[in-house]
């Protein structure tokens, strides 16, 4: 098993060394500096706690007196931020770390708050040969089991992983909105489950796309970024790229199909993107984009088939599972697969037991067909009200969808429209068709009546975007 | 100056005594039990910190070793939850309390977490004669100044106060949604200020009204509540009373004017309220309500002219100022005045420098006329799209509006409609006309061009409700 690495920082004039574990999102601390193992640039830490919580809250004693303390509260805290269950460890926490033989490693000498550099350094360390053979004694059976399940995700076969997603979070955090969760007893009652709506319709630009675009554009080196960025998009990604490029101070060339909704095109213009029209087909979009690339020397920011985009979208799961730790299921709209890839990688790294379902319109069901066939299927044409869900899987998103997404739920357009109505009338939120499809899925017969999913009790639904012209909404509901 | 009282609780088998100050929302603690002043049932505490934060977070030493510690961080924490500015106290916190001569009082012997009983006990203590003459030495000049300003609010001439509002928060907290804050760079740019939207449209029942209704109904003793509750309302209060009564398990009789919006009537029915129709006039509403009261023996829950209602609505300010501590201005829709009364009392108790403005439609400008005349003015008729803002001030809300609301901003219906459009298109939120009026006010010429308000930089806007039929919204925007 690979030894995990941590980002580290210094506090109190170097008298305090702490670190951050991107998998568990735990802070790891060595307050007493009496660590007795030193592996070159590594230092062994003697205690830790979930990020954002602190044992000092409980007022248990001096920092150096850790071994005298009781941590009976740690069970419930750990459940929130961490995949490992400590409920069965009666004396709590420090004895647990001690039982581990001290195998948590922090990097030294990063100034506090330089977390971004920390993430980069942690990634370097991660590549170094640094293995321990099963450091976990039998006491921690369930922990070991989780780690083994999770190790499937640790492999490097996907375009993103929990570390790149945590890095994305550090990179984009000051730019994005941490979107709220809404819930409604009325909708819970209709669904027969507890639903938690992650409102990405309130994200900047009106959709989750800003997360990925921001991560991609702020990942570029200065000389790469100088000539600007290009993308082709049905709208939300286009606005997101425009806004992120504006924040970075570089030009954005946006290829938009002629059938894109008016409000999405206006978003692009509002954020200063330069609109270049194409035909509605994906072929036309791509060929126009290629031409712009050649003419400008700008960098392509693909809407979904890009590790940086996937990592950016994955930050949704980090927030969602912090906001609602009891989530056991997440339902995500699927189109090119960037959103669901990031959400799945992050969620299953944090808790491998979480189920992730894709929601897809029957008129653009390439993902369902692909899962069925075991290979990427594209469609000659699509026909759905959900304008954001007409793209097909890419070679970077397909393996994640194939291996890790538990199932695809297909819904009809009329179910999407009904879900939009419920979002408006009960949640009081404007949600575009692509954004409402998760609610449509959870209310669909195919989900409700599937006995395999009857224990999906606490369901996160990603309301992915809110860019719907009011007139279109009104007309849809009155058809 | 009145000595303030605190709610108290016990931890760690009575070895630890703490308290809660409803004005500052600070926890006050006596960990060392070496307090040397005892006033009968009062005990003097030696330290304190803002509720929800803890000095232990900073790991500064043992609980009993407080005097050895440095609290240089307290300035910024205190700014968040507390009106007193400690920035100028270089050695921080404990020396500050010591300099005060120890004048913070806690009640003893309440089990931890029994905050509700604590609030009741605190209220009793509050009535006892317990005065100290200017306990604050010159060191704390600004604190003293704040206290004197605030003492205007401490008088008992209003129907609610910060303590009744804090009690309401404890009472209703498990029933209500803590509604999120939304913000938008686009709207900030349009307004030329930073706007923070408190989304009460996401409250249960779709409007802030549930807070007050819940507080009123759960304040009733069992024998009072048994025969149910009655109200007359334009809709949102009706739904709120229905839902709160349902949660309490008692009947709700709802008198509704015939011109109430369809979606609001449906909310009442959804929550199990019994609808009784009246004519659209306030006289008809009240006479029908009186008849129902006589027939059923139920208790009247007035929509606004009731201290329990005012206190419930005031909990919005407690949340808002926790969520966005830098708020310097709050804009609130005004109708009968229950919402603005609670919001103003709470906000100005926490920070007397906060300005509160009412937003009122020109077609129902009784509050503006009343402020002008210095007495309650009622209108022969009202004419506005804002169906929730047609009521007139009551004898309990008028004194608060008269004394404490800084100004009334009057807007035209077309400005309200434009604000609804911006809420939908940019915030992605369904807001009813009465709910959007705060945004209309902040964008109005009369606010923008008033030099007196040019330093209103961080403005809280209460989106008070979201119950607008989609068809009505669509038609309004296309007139």
Tell me, what CATH number does B431's domain have? 3.40.50.1100
- Residue-level pLDDT at B263: 81
One domain, residues B280 and B408? no
Please list every residue in chain B whose beta carbon sits closer than 8 Å to the beta carbon of residue A187. none
pLDDT grade for B312, boundaries at 50, 70 and 90? very high
Q: Are B190 and B378 in contact (CB under 8 A)?
A: no
- Is the confidence at residue A133, as pLDDT, over 70? no
- Residue-level pLDDT at A479: 72
* A182–B202 C-beta distance less than 8 A: yes
d(CA A405, CA A348): 10
For chain B, which residues lie within 8 Å of any Cβ of chain A, measuring from their own Cβ?
31, 54, 56-59, 61-63, 177, 180, 182-183, 185-186, 201-202, 204, 206, 263, 270, 421, 424-425, 427-431, 466-467, 470-471, 473-474, 477
One domain, residues B12 and B137? yes
Please list every residue in chain A whose beta carbon sits closer than 8 Å to the beta carbon of residue B186. 270
Of A170 and B445, the one with more pLDDT: B445
- Tell me what percent of the residues of chain A surpass a pLDDT of 90: 54
* B471–A470 C-beta distance less than 8 A: no
Who among A183, A202, A473 is closest to B182 (CB)?
Answer: A202
Position A164 in a domain: no
One domain, residues A291 and A319? no
- Residue-level pLDDT at A234: 64
> Beta strands of B40-92 (E only): which ranges?
42-44, 47-50
* A54–B57 C-beta distance less than 8 A: yes
Q: How many domains does chain B have?
A: 3
Structure ipTM? 0.71
Which of B300, B320, B339 finishes a domain? B300
* A428–B430 C-beta distance less than 8 A: yes
> Beta strands of B149-273 (E only): which ranges?
181-182, 194-199, 229-232, 252-257
Position B421 in a domain: yes
B146 among known catalytic residues = no
Q: Which of B47-56, B58-67, B252-261, B433-442 has the lowest mean pLDDT?
A: B58-67
- Residue-level pLDDT at B156: 59
One domain, residues A343 and A197? yes
One domain, residues B470 and B362? yes
Query: B277-283: long-range contacts (C-beta < 8 A, 24 or more apart)?
Result: B278/B232, B281/B257, B282/B391, B282/B392
- Residue-level pLDDT at B252: 96
One domain, residues B71 and B130? yes
Who among B57, B183, B428 is closest to A429 (CB)?
Answer: B428
DSSP A24-65: TTEEEEESS-----EETTEEE--EEEETT--GGGG--S-GGG
From residue A418, give the alpha-carbon distance in Å to each of A207, A444, A479, B264.
20, 11, 11, 20
Q: Are B164 and B311 in contact (CB under 8 A)?
A: yes
* A62–B424 C-beta distance less than 8 A: no
Write down the number of H helices and E strands in chain A: 19, 17
* A466–B477 C-beta distance less than 8 A: no
Residue in A459, A479, A474 with CA at minimum distance from that of residue A198: A459
One domain, residues B233 and B136? no
- Is the confidence at residue A218, as pLDDT, over 50? yes
Residue of B nearest to A55 (CA): B57
**Best residue of B53, B181, B428, B430 to probe chain A, by most A CBs closer than 10 Å:** B428
Position B164 in a domain: no
* B425–A429 C-beta distance less than 8 A: no
One domain, residues A189 and A254? no
Residue in A131, A135, A105 with CA at minimum distance from that of residue A23: A105
- Is the confidence at residue A114, as pLDDT, over 90? no
* B429–A430 C-beta distance less than 8 A: yes
Secondary structure of residue A158 in the 3-state scheme: coil
* B182–A425 C-beta distance less than 8 A: no
Who among B31, B183, B429 is closest to A428 (CB)?
Answer: B429
- Residue-level pLDDT at A119: 42
Position B165 in a domain: no
pLDDT grade for A264, boundaries at 50, 70 and 90? confident
Position A158 in a domain: no
Give the residues across from B361 on adjacent strands: B411
Residue of B nearest to A53 (CA): B57
Burial of B88 (0-12, 13-18, 19+ CB in 10 A): exposed
Query: B365-373: long-range contacts (C-beta < 8 A, 24 or more apart)?
Result: B365/B408, B365/B410, B366/B392, B366/B393, B367/B334, B367/B337, B367/B393, B367/B401, B367/B408, B368/B408, B368/B410, B370/B398, B370/B401, B370/B402, B371/B401, B371/B402, B371/B405, B371/B407, B371/B408
- Tell me what percent of the residues of chain A surpass a pLDDT of 70: 67
Which of A281, A300, A319 finishes a domain? A300
Question: Over the stretch A310-332, which tens digit does the pLDDT of each residue have?
Answer: 999 999 999 999 899 899 999 99
* A61–B62 C-beta distance less than 8 A: yes
- Is the confidence at residue B50, as pLDDT, over 50? no
- Residue-level pLDDT at B223: 92
d(CA B110, CA B125): 14
Residue of B nearest to A430 (CA): B428
d(CA B277, CA A194): 35
Position B430 in a domain: yes
Please list every residue in chain B whose beta carbon sits closer than 8 Å to the beta carbon of residue A206. 428
- Is the confidence at residue B418, as pLDDT, over 60? yes
* Spacing of C-alpha A117 from chain mean position: 21
Who among A63, A180, A427 is closest to B59 (CB)?
Answer: A63
Residue in B39, B49, B64 with CA at minimum distance from that of residue B19: B49
For range B48-60, the mean pLDDT: 32
One domain, residues A317 and A444? yes
Please list every residue in chain A whose beta carbon sits closer than 8 Å to the beta carbon of residue B425. 263, 470
Q: Are A218 and A240 in contact (CB under 8 A)?
A: no
One domain, residues B354 and B451? yes
For range B168-197, the mean pLDDT: 94
Mean pLDDT score of chain A: 74
Position B2 in a domain: no
Tokens 């969760």 found at: A181
Spot the catalytic one: B164, B234, B335, B434. Answer: B234
pTM value is 0.73
Looking at the complex, report in whole angstroms how far the Cα of residue B428 sits from the nearest Cα belonging to chain A: 5
Residue of B nearest to A420 (CA): B470
- Is the confidence at residue B153, as pLDDT, over 60? no
Mean pLDDT score of chain B: 74
Please list every residue in chain B whose beta carbon sits closer than 8 Å to the beta carbon of residue A52. none
Helix axes B307-323, B338-350, angle to 10 degrees: 50
Q: Are B153 and B400 in contact (CB under 8 A)?
A: no
Position A435 in a domain: yes
Question: Over the stretch A12-52, which tens digit does the pLDDT of each residue have?
Answer: 222 233 444 444 444 444 333 333 223 222 222 333 343 33
One domain, residues B238 and B330? no
Q: What number of C-beta contacts closer than 8 Å exist between A and B? A: 73
**E strand or H helix at B458:** strand B458-463
**E strand or H helix at A275:** strand A274-278
> Beta strands of A81-199 (E only): which ranges?
105-107, 181-182, 194-199
* A204–B59 C-beta distance less than 8 A: no
Looking at the complex, report in whole angstroms how far the Cα of residue A185 sits from the nearest Cα belonging to chain B: 8
Looking at the complex, report in whole angstroms how far the Cα of residue A89 sits from the nearest Cα belonging to chain B: 22
Asked whether the CA dihedral B154, B160, B162, B163 is positive or negative, the reply is: positive
- Tell me what percent of the residues of chain B surpass a pLDDT of 90: 54
Question: Over the stretch B205-237, which tens digit does the pLDDT of each residue have?
Answer: 999 999 999 999 999 999 999 999 999 876 889
Domain that holds residue A273: 209-300
Looking at the complex, report in whole angstroms how far the Cα of residue A265 sits from the nearest Cα belonging to chain B: 13
Looking at the complex, report in whole angstroms how far the Cα of residue A369 sits from the nearest Cα belonging to chain B: 33
Which of A256, A278, A300 finishes a domain? A300
* A177–B183 C-beta distance less than 8 A: yes
* B54–A57 C-beta distance less than 8 A: yes
Please list every residue in chain A whose beta carbon sits closer than 8 Å to the beta carbon of residue B196. none
One domain, residues A98 and A134? yes
Tokens 């994906």 found at: A282
Active site residues of A: 209, 234
Please list every residue in chain A whose beta carbon sits closer than 8 Å to the beta carbon of residue B470. 421, 424-425, 473-474, 477
């Amino acid at each position: 098993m690979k030894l995990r690495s941590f980002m580290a920082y210094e506090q109190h004039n170097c008298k305090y060394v702490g670190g951050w574990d991107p998998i568990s999102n735990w802070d790891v601390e060595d307050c007493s500096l009496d660590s007795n193992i030193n592996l070159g640039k590594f230092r062994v830490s003697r205690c830790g706690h979930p990020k954002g919580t602190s044992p000092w809250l409980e007022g248990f004693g001096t920092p150096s007196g850790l071994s005298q303390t009781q941590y009976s509260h740690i069970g419930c805290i750990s459940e929130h931020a961490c995949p490992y269950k400590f409920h069965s460890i009666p004396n709590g926490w420090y004895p647990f770390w001690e039982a581990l033989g001290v195998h948590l490693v922090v990097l030294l000498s990063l100034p506090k708050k330089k977390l971004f550099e920390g993430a980069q350094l942690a990634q370097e360390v991660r590549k170094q040969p640094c293995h321990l053979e099963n450091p976990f004694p039998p006491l921690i059976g369930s922990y070991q089991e989780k780690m083994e399940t999770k190790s499937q995700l640790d492999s490097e076969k996907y375009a993103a992983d929990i570390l790149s997603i945590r890095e994305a979070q550090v990179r984009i955090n000051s730019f994005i909105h941490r979107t709220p969760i809404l819930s409604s007893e009325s909708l819970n009652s209709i669904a027969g489950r507890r639903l938690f709506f992650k409102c990405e319709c309130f994200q900047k630009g009106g959709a989750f796309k800003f997360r990925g675009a921001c991560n991609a554009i702020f990942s570029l080196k200065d000389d790469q970024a100088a000539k600007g960025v290009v993308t082709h998009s049905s709208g939300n990604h286009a606005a997101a790229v425009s806004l992120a490029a504006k924040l970075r101070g570089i030009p954005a060339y946006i290829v938009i199909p002629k059938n894109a909704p008016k409000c999405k095109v206006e978003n692009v213009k509002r954020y200063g993107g330069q609109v270049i029209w194409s035909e509605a087909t994906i072929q036309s979009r791509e060929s126009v984009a290629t031409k712009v690339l050649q003419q400008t020397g700008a960098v392509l920011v693909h809407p979904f088939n890009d590790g940086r985009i996937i990592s950016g979208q994955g930050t949704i799961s980090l927030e969602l599972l912090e906001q609602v730790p009891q989530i056991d299921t997440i339902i995500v709209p699927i189109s090119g697969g960037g959103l669901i890839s990031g959400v799945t990688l992050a969620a299953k790294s944090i808790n491998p037991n979480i189920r992730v379902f894709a929601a897809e319109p029957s008129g653009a069901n390439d993902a369902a067909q692909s899962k069925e066939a075991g290979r990427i299927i594209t469609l000659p044409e699509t026909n759905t009200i959900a304008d954001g869900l007409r793209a097909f899987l890419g070679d970077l998103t397909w393996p994640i969808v194939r291996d890790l997404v538990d199932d695809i739920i297909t819904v009809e357009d009329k179910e999407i429209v009904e879900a939009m109505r419920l979002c408006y009338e009960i949640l009081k939120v404007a949600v575009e068709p692509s954004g409402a499809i998760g609610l449509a899925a959870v209310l669909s017969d195919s989900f409700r009546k599937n006995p395999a999913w009857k224990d999906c009790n606490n369901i996160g639904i990603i309301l992915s975007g809110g860019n719907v012209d009011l007139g279109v909404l009104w007309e849809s509901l009155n058809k």
